[in-house]
Structure 1
Amino acid sequence: MAVTKIIFLDILTVLPVPTSPNTWKVRLTLNYKELTYRTKWVETTDIESVCKSLGIPPTSMLPDGTPKYTLPALIDNTFTPPAVLSDSNPIIEYLERTYPDPDSSRAVCPPASCALHAIFEYHVAQPHGIASTSVNVPKRHLGKKLEDIELKGKDREEHWNKIERAFDLLATSMRARSGPGELFTGSNLSLADCTLGGLLLALRYDSPDEAWMKVSSWSNGKWIRYMAALSKWTAVE
């Protein structure tokens, strides 16, 4: 039996699917590239100890200077020494360099588009952007009880209206390109799709009765069609 040399570290949940936007970004890329890999599921409370034991580097530092370990992470034993990476974008960049598609038009992140993708990520994936759909409150309120800080009533409605306008803007921008297909570049996956798709997958599984119900009703059904186009790369073994 062939040995699977790529190990992908994802976060274990009570659901049969992942709910992290960042780990979904990498999983979409791995599936799109048709790479053989094995998922190592890690409990949230074990992320730091598992990363340390495997030599996976931290992704940032806490205010007190303590290293912060997060997933996704990836170990590629194809080479000696193995490639050991953390954080979604460096992992995707590594996969692009190491396993390029013979057809350059299928590149997830062509070099010429890196700056545009960075801007897109800033406005979509950061806490101040569209990613705020997946949280209830600003980060500065962490440490208080959820019931004391969760957006409610009119504030919650205004929050969702703001997010809907952002999604409508995205849909309008995507219609402006020429050619068939529901994704940002048509039918091929791009880093922008990994970012937005990861967020939508997380919303669909983590908040099906509020977040996904709302998003799926916006933009004349655009996001239902968009998710259908992504579905060929969302397999979870």
Structure 2
Amino acid sequence: MAVTKIIFLDIPTVLSVPTSPNTWKVRLTLNYKELTYGTKWVETTDIESVCKSLGIPPTSVLTDGTPKYTLPALIDNTFTPPAFLSDSTPIIEYLERTYPDPDSSRALCPPASRALHALFEYHVAHSITAQLLPVMVMHMYDKKTPRDQVHFRERTEAALGKKLEDIELKGKEREEHWKKIEGAFDLLETVMRTRSGAGELFTGPNLSLADCTLGGLLLALRYDSPDEAWMKVSSWSDRKWIRYMAALSKWTAVE
């Protein structure tokens, strides 16, 4: 039996699929590049201890100097010495350098586009992702494993100083918040309409780093909250995001 050289660390849920937008971002890349890899499932509660034991570097450093470990992470044993990576964009940049496609038009992030991709990621992070917790917190909580529910509740309530149930917006405030998020999605759809060429994705038929970022977020919304978030998003922008997800579907397999 062939040895799997690439190990991808992802976060399990009570579903048969992950719901982290950042780990989806890397999984889309691995599938798009048709790389053979295995998934190591690591509950959020265990991320720090597992990463330390495997030699995976921290993603960042907290204000008190404590290393912060997050997923996704990746170990590539194809070469000597092996590569140990963390954080989605550095992992994708590594995969681009190490496993380039012979067809340059299929590049996820050509050097000339990196500044634009950085601007795009900033928009998604601040205008969409950062706005989701007040309308998604209980959906996110419900899909976590029992151990991770305890960890998520403790961490989130300590950070915000209130119970999860009190973080969640209700009634009119909730609808107004969703409208704000809808406006951010409408801006993306407007920008995408200005490009030339066929295809629903940002660069047409091929995947880009922007698609990995947005696609990962949409997959998280669809699986975490199919009855609210995804129902809303799929109705926006003349149902653009349904077509977008259909185009993305060929790279969403979870082994």
Q: TM-score, normalised by structure 1?
A: 0.95
Gaps of 5+ in 2: 138-155
Instruction: Tell me what 2:14 maps to.
Output: 14
Aligned-pair identity (%): 86
Residue 148 of structure 1: which of 166, 169, 191 is its match?
A: 166
Comparing 215-224 with 163-172, greater Cα deviation is found at 163-172
One-letter identity of the residue aligned with 2:52: K
Q: What's the CA shift for 1:133?
A: 5.0
Q: Secondary structure at the match of 1:136?
A: helix
Matches for 1:90-109 after TM superposition, within 5 Å: 90-109=90-109
Contact conserved, 1:133 with 1:211, CA < 8 A, in 2? no
What are the superposed Cα offsets for residues 32-77 of structure 1, whole Å, 9 maximum, x if unpaired?
0000000001111111110000000111122322111100000000
Instruction: Measure, in 2, the Cα distance between the counterparts of 1:149 and 1:205.
Output: 21
Say how many residue pairs are matched: 235
Alpha-carbon distance in 1 for matches of 2:167, 2:243: 34
Report the Cα offset of residue 134 of structure 1. 3.4
Determine the C-alpha separation between the residues in 2 that align with 1:129 and 1:51.
Answer: 30
1:235 match: 253
8 Å contact from structure 1 (residues 6, 36) kept in 2: yes
How big is the alpha-carbon RMSD for the aligned residues of Structure 1 and Structure 2? Answer: 1.6
Match of 2:132 among 108, 130, 134: 134
1:209 paired with 2:227, answer yes
- Please say if residues 20 and 198 of structure 1, whose CA atoms lie closer than 8 Å, have aligned partners that are also in contact: yes
- Equivalences for residues 16-35 of structure 1 within 5 A: 16-35=16-35
Cα deviations by residue, 1:148-205 (Å, 9 ceiling, x for unpaired)? 2222222211111111111111112111111110000000000000000000000000
C-alpha distance in 2 between matches for 1:62 and 1:144: 22
The Cα offsets for residues 106-136 of structure 1, whole Å up to 9 and x where unpaired, read as: 0000000000000000010x2x321135311
Distance in 2, Cα, partners of 1:158 & 1:150: 13
| Alignment-mate amino acid for residue 159 of structure 1 | H
User: Which residue, out of 211, 214, 218, partners 1:193?
Assistant: 211
Of Structure 1 and Structure 2, the greater helix share is in 2
**Counterpart secondary structure, 2:134:** coil
More divergent stretch after superposition (142-151 vs 190-199): 142-151
Kindly indicate whether the alpha-carbon contact (under 8 Å) linking 1:141 and 1:149 is maintained by their aligned counterparts in 2: no
Q: Give the CA deviation at 1:143.
A: 3.4
